[in-house]
Structure 1
Amino acid sequence: MAKVTANDLLEQFQLELLAGEEGIYRPITTSDISRPGMEMAGFFTYYPAKRLQLLGRTELTFFEQLTKEVQQERMLKLCTYDTPGIIISRGNEAPRALLEAAEQNGVPVMRSKQTTTRLSSKLTNYLESKLSPMTAVHGVLVDIYGIGVLITGNSGVGKSETALDLVRRGHRLVADDSVEIRQENEDTLVGRSPELIQHLLEIRGLGIINVMTLFGAGAVRPYKRIVLCIHLELWDQKKAYDRLGLEEETMKIMDSEIQKLTVPVRPGRNLAVIIEVAAMNFRLKRLGFNAAEEFSERLTDVIEEGDRDEFN
């Protein structure tokens, strides 16, 4: 899991630091954001202290109506040693009691000119993308007609060469060799390349090539949602491969499952074309067109018609 701090928010959202500079490297461990309206009213029983706290015009207007003693008491309870940061939206003035309590407990207080709702949405999306569970998979990720296809297989089976052929056919490379995958929500897997090998392909006999330099910026993309896995394996004469496409195999990555197709590799097979067609066929299935099921229904109709003719 990546580490996110208030300092990262300062840089990402161009926030203004008002107080609590010593706490800007406190880790933010959850993407949930709290608007402490109930806490401003004095109800701290279920105060989510480990969340980022967001103060808008409503909370600050109510706070101004409190006496100075109550303000100081509430702010000391709001600024705990677990609180990763407090952000004030709309460029509002920070109450003195808040700044004093923040300095005392080392809680960073930041200010943004954005509206509360928009800022809350941007912060949540950013934190979810950074704090979501992550794993790494050995393979290649390519964007084919808008479908994120993860190509896996044993080392030397031809994954990178196939990816190079797909790029030459106009598709876009996301990652080669190692794919970092984040589970951004229950059924969404997003893959990207480690920064060190971004835009690079390793082709045995040629070495490392830079896809963006050779084919242009349109041949790469930084990340892509993964919805299909193509597993390449050397052709096994003893194994029965699916010839109709009625069997649907899945691959589990963290808590999400994606469709998996196993493609046997042997000389003479154009893997790039096969994977390209697999991506198009997957897209058709999502639109409600399934060639395998349609053929199965035709076959069933022919058999039933033959049985009726024989009976008659």
Structure 2
Amino acid sequence: MDEITNTRQRSDVLHRLAAFLAESGRPHRFVITSRPLPEAELAEFRSRETGLFVLRPFSSDDLYNFAVKWYRARTPDDDPETQEVAALRLTSRMHASGLTSMVRIPLIATMAALLYTADPDAELPGSRAELYRSFVDLLRSGRADEKGSSPQAAWLSGVQERLIEALAGRYMEDADANLVEAANRWAEEHAPRSLSRPVGGWSGRVRDRLIRSGLFGSAAGEVVFLHRSLAEYVAAGPASYRQESWRADVRPGGRRRPAGPRVRRSALPMTVPRRTRHGRRQVPYPRGHGQCW
């Protein structure tokens, strides 16, 4: 339900569902899934005989059981002891990489397991952003990059990353947007004038390019992101570029610094000015806290 990003549209869908469920004699049952929503949007369901279930994060035992089942599904010919040893190695690598709190989320645990399975000797990423970056790279590397012999296919291969970033931004604006149509418009606008338009337009070529990128799938005949969080991660790329540009513009003299806030941790207590009713006074700053600027 949360993938209906427009609040008014989402409220309309919830209202229709509540009205449908209020009618007596209906033989249907619904399972409505969503990330957390504002309490007011779910108020109509609270007064009805509806159950509310929260997806429980993995405990340590759950994570181990997940890993065992992971290897049972992937290596069914191995004996149970070998599968359990492999599961212990996987969960130990997750903990050693600092992912303990993040892999409690089943999706994150699955991504980490895929990365580990692809290269057991490599260290797992230590942050959510690095994990998504590595996972996206893994999806892309798993699909052959057939540039093709035509100039149009070669050009699309070269601009694929920019195209996908544009589509991710479009998806975040409107989750119901037709991504093939959006990609077709993007190609029409950005293709060099010297490049002839493909017979039948760009739609067929961009659809094939998106599917082969590894980040998209097909549902009910439409091209869609494999998961909303992948779109969120890819869309954040251009946003971070704009943020860095803004920082450079507002700094005195336009001096550029590395992206993101710089943090310095101090082992010594500090004092900072605090305004009171009687003016300014110095107050202790907690030991070990970071300074951001």
TM-score for both structures, normalised by structure 2: 0.26
Q: Higher helix fraction: Structure 1 or Structure 2?
A: 2
- Bigger relative contact order (CA 8 A; separation at least 6): 1
- Quick check: which has more Rg, 1 or 2? 1
Q: Higher strand fraction: Structure 1 or Structure 2?
A: 1
TM-score for both structures, normalised by structure 1: 0.24
